[in-house]
Amino acid sequence: MELQGKIALITGAGRGIGRAIARDLADRGVSVALLGRTEEQIRAEAEAISSVGGRALSIVCDLRTASAAQRAVETVREHFGGLNILINNAGVGRFATVAEMDPADWDAVLRTNLDGVFYITRAALPLMFETANPSAQTGGDGFIVNIGSLAGKTGFVNGAAYCASKWGLIGFTESLMLEVRDKGIRTSIVMPGSVDTTFNVKGLNQSEWKLTDRDITDAVLGILEASAKAHISRVEIRPNNPPPKR
């Protein structure tokens, strides 16, 4: 799809992978709505994009509430009048054994990584249907890209909540894909391995071997810029030179 002039909503866009996706889309002439809970981050990023000539909107929203997700989409409609691209990127991780996991942590992970994706997608679909313009020539102007994880197909110790959420996201994505593909919307899941962001850490790990946010945005752009005939439905990205497993 030609990206210039399109409209995107990116969740978790105040830092990390979501921020990188928002910047890249804005660079290509996409109007971007940046959503997250931390107002300073979302606002600073929207201002940075606007200051170099992009069209950006900041939306403070906790996706764990359906009504908040609904209001977020209404804000996009009011400001931009449509929606072509939904990037479901917001996510959290809480890591503990099942025996030791606090139910509040389980809830935080499942409610953000699964319920939140459902709430914002359900809210966005009517606006996306209006904007998608289904046609064999263009392939349709709608895309939903969910940021999953390789943890959605491989379990690990302490990973039960996170793996369950990302495993569930694959089922959600594939079902949704079949529901909306004849309406001009292509649905995809990107499944990265370890990426060097602040996810679940206090600062960047600075691990040489980890993927960068750039690696993930490249994959997302590949999905969005595919030809009218192509639907890249799943991408797995793993570090090329991880440390050996013991």
Ligand X SMILES: NC(=O)c1ccc[n+]([C@@H]2O[C@H](COP(=O)([O-])OP(=O)(O)OC[C@H]3O[C@@H](n4cnc5c(N)ncnc54)[C@H](OP(=O)(O)O)[C@@H]3O)[C@@H](O)[C@H]2O)c1
Active-site entry in 162, 169, 193, 210: 162
Minimum distance from residue 152 beta carbon to ligand X (Å): 9
> Strands, E, within the chain: which ranges?
7-11, 31-36, 56-60, 85-88, 142-147, 185-192, 234-237
**Contact between 152 and ligand X (CB under 6 A)?**
no
Q: Which two tokens stand for residue 41?
A: 């981050």
CA dihedral for 100, 244, 201, 117, sign (positive or negative):
negative
Site for ligand X in 205-244 (CB under 6 A): none
Nearer to ligand X, 94 or 140 (CB): 94
162 an active-site residue?
Answer: yes
Choice from 31, 84, 149, 187 touching ligand X (CB under 6 A): 149
What is the b/e burial string over 49-74, where b = at least 16 CB atoms within 10 angstroms of the residue's CB? beeeebbbbbbbbebbeeebbbebbe
Nearer to ligand X, 84 or 197 (CB): 197
**Contact between 16 and ligand X (CB under 6 A)?**
yes
CB contact at 8 A, 56 and 46 = yes
Choice from 147, 223, 224, 235 touching ligand X (CB under 6 A): 147
The helix/strand/coil state of 153 is: coil
Q: How many residues does the chain have?
A: 246
**Contact between 198 and ligand X (CB under 6 A)?**
yes
CB contact at 8 A, 39 and 60 = yes
Minimum distance from residue 134 beta carbon to ligand X (Å): 28
Q: In whole angstroms, what is the distance from residue 114 CA to residue 127 CA?
A: 21
Minimum distance from residue 62 beta carbon to ligand X (Å): 5
Stretch 21-50: interaction string toward ligand X, x if CB under 6 A: ---------------xxx--x---------
Nearer to ligand X, 139 or 162 (CB): 162
Q: Which two tokens stand for residue 100?
A: 């030791």
Nearer to ligand X, 17 or 124 (CB): 17
CA dihedral for 83, 129, 143, 196, sign (positive or negative):
positive
Binding site for ligand X (CB under 6 A): 11-12, 14-18, 36-38, 41, 61-64, 89-92, 112, 116, 147, 149, 192, 194-195, 197-199
Q: Which residues are catalytic?
A: 162
